[in-house]
Homo-oligomer: A and B are copies of this chain.
Amino acid sequence: MTVSITDVAEATGVSASTVSRALRGRSGVSEEMRARIVAAAAELGYTASRSASSLASGRTYTIGVVVPYVGRWFFGTVLDAAEKVFSAAGYDVLLYNLGSPEARKRFFTKLPIRKRVDAVLSLLIPDPEEAAALCSLGVPLATTVGGARPGFTVVGIDDRGGAESAVRHLVNLGHRRIGMISGASEPLHWTTPLDRRQGYLDVLADAGIELDPALEADGGYTVEGGEQAMTELLALRHPPTAVFAQSDEMAMGALRALRRHRLRVPEDVSVVGFDDHELSEVVGLTTVAQPVAAQGREAARLLLAQLDEPDAGAPQPVEMPIRFILRETTAPPHSGRQP
């Protein structure tokens, strides 16, 4: 019922080998014969079985992409961009969505990806054990988040520097009580929260502002978490006059909390985010933009390059540019009370 390579071979009156070579553009087939074979294949609606061809050749023409949450804007956007590069190059992408600890554990113990992919792009930061499992696959590895990992091609941004510019902006406006809505590194093992936090600490220290641990609240990198965190900060005896949210999503949660408290932004409280979420412009959020789709594209390209040139070793880490974007959620402290 399903048409195989021998069907088109018989239809053309040649051997299966010749059909295989003709269809994949290999040499050793006359142009005339190739044309006849291509025509016959099209006629019969023939598509080579990937299972069979990858079994025989050892190449799968498939890239594994593992992400923590496809649904979140950042990961979805990276995935979107990377997939386009892969599919344009003739690769399929196998998606692994490892949001829950169970899914994650299942993936790394059973490693269903083994022997199924030619490379993997990981948008989550594996812990050392998981990283070892990935390395054992023996295929090129890349990532777009968190810090450098041995064995991984990494494309990322200067999280620390970005956080610095966000916080410095607040300091420059005259803020002295600056809160931070952060996220734990733990469930995902990524270094982003740590780097961004360091940027915050650096600027405060540099500005001679004493650190108040109470001004740091965990927002879990979600909107709801950001709202919760902002609410906590507002409940302090001396609430901050400005907050740096480590992600735009948390910043939006913070904006919501502020609205609920009938506080005006930026007159009463300034908010600055990080990432330049697609909707940040809509809400006028001041933030630090990172080229999200471009990172996905670049990581995909580097992976493909490694597949083309297996000998050329792993590429150097690439750092994409970031950009501070001033919008409408930041102003000098208590600007609303000034005449």
- Name A residues whose Cβ lies closer than 8 Å to a Cβ of B: 1-2, 45, 47, 49-52, 54-55, 60, 62, 65, 69-73, 76-77, 79-81, 83-84, 87-88, 92-97, 99-100, 103, 106-107, 110-112, 114-116, 136, 138, 223, 252-253, 255-256, 259, 278-279, 281-284, 293
Contact = CB atoms under 8 A, between A and B. Distances in A.
Contacts of A93: 94-95
A87 B96 contact: yes
A47 B281 contact: no
Nearest to A61: B112
B51 A50 contact: yes
25 contacts: A45-B136, A47-B111, A49-B55, A49-B115, A50-B51, A51-B60, A51-B115, A69-B80, A70-B79, A70-B83, A71-B76, A71-B80, A79-B97, A80-B99, A83-B95, A83-B97, A84-B99, A88-B103, A92-B95, A92-B116, A93-B94, A93-B95, A252-B279, A255-B282, A256-B281
A97 B85 CA distance: 10
A60 B54 CA distance: 13
A55 B49 CA distance: 8
Nearest to A95: B95
Contacts of A76: 70-73, 76
Q: What is the total number of copies of this protein in its complex?
A: 2
A196 to B, nearest CB: 21
Contacts of A51: 50-52, 54-55, 60, 115-116
Contacts of A52: 51, 55
Contacts of A253: 282
Contacts of A136: 45
Contacts of A81: 71
Point out which of A49, A99, A103, A223 has the most chain B C-beta atoms below 10 A from its C-beta: A49
A114 B47 contact: yes
A282 to B, nearest CB: 5
Contacts of A88: 103
B94 A92 contact: yes
A141 B58 CA distance: 30
A65 B97 CA distance: 13
Nearest to A227: B282
A279 B226 CA distance: 12
B77 A71 contact: yes
Nearest to A90: B112
Contacts of A1: 138
A76 to B, nearest CB: 4
A95 B65 CA distance: 10
Nearest to A88: B103
In the complex, the 8 A-B pairs of residues with the closest C-beta atoms, listed nearest first: A71-B80, A76-B76, A51-B55, A83-B97, A70-B80, A47-B114, A71-B77, A51-B54
A134 to B, nearest CB: 13
A31 B293 CA distance: 51
A94 B97 contact: no
Contacts of A283: 282-283
Contact of A50 (B65, B73, B84, B116): B116
